[in-house]
Amino acid sequence: MKKKGILNSSIASVLAKLGHTDTIVIADCGLPIPDVVKRIDISLTLGNPTFIETLAAVIDDMEIEKITLASEIKKYNANVHNEITKLLPNVEKTYVDHEQFKQLTKNAKAVIRTGEITPYANIILHAGVIF
Q: Is 122 annotated as a binding residue?
A: yes
Measure Cα distances from 2 to 68, 113, 126 in Å. 30, 23, 25
| Of 13, 16, 17, 20, catalytic | 20
Amino acid identity at 13: S
Where does residue 130 rank: exposed (0-12), middle (13-18), buried (19+ CB within 10 A)?
exposed
Q: Is 121 annotated as a binding residue?
A: yes
Is the omega angle on the peptide bond into residue 49 within 30 degrees of 0, that is, cis? yes
Q: Is 126 annotated as a binding residue?
A: no
Q: Is 98 annotated as a binding residue?
A: yes
Residue in 114, 88, 91 with CA at minimum distance from that of residue 33: 114
Q: Is 35 annotated as a binding residue?
A: no
Whether 81 is catalytic is: no
| Sequence ranges of the binding site for substrate | 28, 98, 120-122
- Please enumerate, by residue number, every residue annotated as part of a binding site: 28, 98, 120-122
Active site residues: 20
